[in-house]
Structure 1
Amino acid sequence: MAHKNFSRAAEDRNVSQPAFSRRIRALEDEVGVRLINRQTLPLSLTPAGEVFLTQARVILSTYEETIERCQIVDAAGENVIRFATSHSLYLTHYKSHIAPLVDAGGLDIDLNSTSWGASQFVAALQQQYCDVILTYWHPAMDFLSPLEAANCEYITLARDVFMPVAKTGPNGPLHHLQKGQNKPVSLLSYGSASALKALVDATLRTHLDGPKILVVNRSALANSVKAMILEGFGLGWLPQALCQQELDSGALQIVGDKSHISQLEIRLYRDRENKKSTLNNLWERLRSDIEEQ
């Protein structure tokens, strides 16, 4: 309905206007309802048409993603290890812990650093769209529970600290988590696509007697949350590895107390049924390196 006109829409599709109209009628007959309100000028969608358009876009997106997954699975040979991880973990723990082993071993890596929703990482591993996922883990992140029940194993690659931080001003942090504040605390939080959202929510639920919270922005990416914090728009929780440089320089400060800080694990998950020799070799090398530390 971008054109709101059958003639222009038909021209865009390189068909005649009568043929285009017949296709629309046939679609409406198939669905069993009228999708286009022909009594308005320009043409508009009926309420049912709005629903159909929204769902059609979802179906098309799913179809395109399925095609992409099939092509990647088909293209990935025995020697390619397919990783999936978030942008923040790629910049921190992947580069420091895994990349050196990959380079030393001459392994062929297909790295998907992506802004997928948290549950999509789990689905990608279960559907063999990837061989390994690198993810944060905390008991509050129940989206990972299907992997615990499935035939998957994990390695705890490293540990991190999840802490509330705020930009440093002339007289200390610009935002606080102190009790008794009259003004609500401006919080920069995470969207539902982020694994870290569950941990922020769980932390806040344990501090119901704390200051009032006003969520001023949500983002799927920890780097975006960090950027907003550095601009002074509010405080927010970040993995320490992602903001250590700013803490050392004094640009950011930790706010709140120990009860606001959580311990994070950085985990690698794989399906035990995945028998790729290159994956098994990398897995054992990672396990050995961690045991020697």
Structure 2
Amino acid sequence: MDIIWLRDFEALVAQRNFSRAAEERNVSQPAFSRRIRALEDEVGVKLINRQTLPLSLTPAGEVFLEQARIMLRTYQDTLERCQTIDAASGDVIRFATSQALYMTHYKTHIAPLVEQRGLDIDLNSTSWGADQFVSALQQNYCDVILTYWHPAMDFLAPLEVAGCDYITLSHDEFIPVSKCDEGGAPLFSLENPGKKPIPLLAYGAVSALRFVLDHTLNQNISKPNLLVMNRNALAISVKGLIAEGFGMGWLPRSLCQKELDSGTLCIAGPDSYRSALEIRLYRLDTNTKKTLGALWDKLQDSVDGAVAKS
């Protein structure tokens, strides 16, 4: 089975239209249709109900979609891990982090030390699911993970049970935000909700921030009337949809501070809807890589120095 067929199938499910899906996949519609039929021939059943508008999945197609996504995720994960292993040597420090943390805390807190010491870094800024970061560290596919931490993130518990070392690099805040109207007020607000449900741009099942959002909402006695418009694994994608005015959502403050300062985005709720975040670095305590040990000590010193100054 060609991996391209799986990506074609996923695009067709998203678009529900052969022409738009073919355009997304950068192929002619006849060629795209032939590849979908080749996939169905390979599976041995019809996956697409072509008699409905928009197109729909057959019962077998619904089952195959779930498995196709698992296969694609496994395939991508395998490629990334193979590339990481190939790049690794005794001197290279293998980092894994999310795109949001790469753009904020890695560049601010870690990159300057890496450049100062002339270290070789294999940085995997990835869209892995939350639990994949944990398994990657435990299985030595990376040396360090840079992650958000919150008490609700149960998936990180195995690292603490296993006695991993961690450094609390800095702190952040998980806040409700919305696009601002022309008067500088939020388009959507938890304080002035109105009668209609507030459109919510939420996080998907594989996102670490989903746990924090669920906790933040559950700790409030009066639940807001929210209607989930979209679920996404990446905070950067959620931010983009908020900025376009599709709804409100929660973001780490560091990821949207510039937009808050410029008045593009607004705080969209009271303090009770905010949650504190830690930004942590984890490593296995059995990792004896000298370059990692030197960087770890330097990072610990910088954190201790910042605490002492405050």
Bin the TM-score by the shorter chain.
Answer: 0.7 to 0.9
- The answer as to 2:172 corresponding to 1:167 is no
**Which residue is 2:210 aligned to?**
197
Following the alignment from structure 1 to structure 2, what is the Cα–Cα distance between the partners of residues 61 and 164?
A: 30
**% identical aligned pairs:** 60
Following the alignment from structure 2 to structure 1, what is the Cα–Cα distance between the partners of residues 253 and 167?
A: 20
Contact 2:153 2:212 in 1 (8 A): yes
Cα offsets for 1:30-85 (capped at 9, x unmatched): xxxxx7469xxxxxxx9889968975884686367446524532441110000000
Contact 2:45 2:60 in 1 (8 A): no
Contact 1:84 1:132 in 2 (8 A): yes
Contact 1:179 1:210 in 2 (8 A): no
Following the alignment from structure 2 to structure 1, what is the Cα–Cα distance between the partners of residues 82 and 286?
A: 19
Q: 1:49 to 1:264 in 2, by over 3 A?
A: closer
Cα offsets for 1:192-244 (capped at 9, x unmatched): 12111111111111235233110111111111111111111111111111111
Alpha-carbon shift at residue 286 of structure 1 (Å): 0.2
**Which residue is 1:116 aligned to?**
128
- The answer as to 2:175 corresponding to 1:135 is no
- The answer as to 2:113 corresponding to 1:101 is yes
Q: 1:191 to 1:273 in 2, by over 3 A?
A: same
Of the three residues 174, 196, 203, the one matched with 1:183 is 196
**Which residue is 1:211 aligned to?**
224
Residue 207 of structure 1 aligns with an amino acid whose one-letter code is: N
**Which residue is 1:32 aligned to?**
none
Following the alignment from structure 1 to structure 2, what is the Cα–Cα distance between the partners of residues 110 and 188?
A: 32
Following the alignment from structure 1 to structure 2, what is the Cα–Cα distance between the partners of residues 94 and 204?
A: 28
Q: 1:170 to 1:65 in 2, by over 3 A?
A: closer
Residue 157 of structure 1 aligns with an amino acid whose one-letter code is: L
Q: 1:52 to 1:187 in 2, by over 3 A?
A: closer
Aligned pairs, number: 259
Please state whether the residue corresponding to 1:203 is helix, strand or coil. Answer: helix
Q: 1:184 to 1:99 in 2, by over 3 A?
A: same
**Which residue is 1:287 aligned to?**
300
Following the alignment from structure 1 to structure 2, what is the Cα–Cα distance between the partners of residues 104 and 73?
A: 25
Contact 1:85 1:112 in 2 (8 A): yes
Q: TM-score, normalised by structure 2?
A: 0.75
Query: Which segments of structure 1 move beyond 4 Å, counting only runs of 4 or more?
Result: 46-61
Contact 1:178 1:210 in 2 (8 A): no
User: CA-atom RMSD, angstroms?
Assistant: 2.8
Q: 1:274 to 1:191 in 2, by over 3 A?
A: same
Contact 1:86 1:114 in 2 (8 A): yes
Aligned pairs for 1:1-293 within 5 A: 36=44, 55=67, 58=70, 62=74, 65-66=77-78, 69-70=81-82, 72-171=84-183, 172-178=185-191, 181-293=194-306
Cα offsets for 1:234-286 (capped at 9, x unmatched): 11111111111111111111121111011100000000001000000000000
**Which residue is 1:5 aligned to?**
none
Please state whether the residue corresponding to 1:283 is helix, strand or coil. Answer: helix
Contact 1:168 1:174 in 2 (8 A): yes
Which ranges of structure 1 fall in alignment gaps of 5 or more residues? 3-7, 13-23, 25-34, 39-45
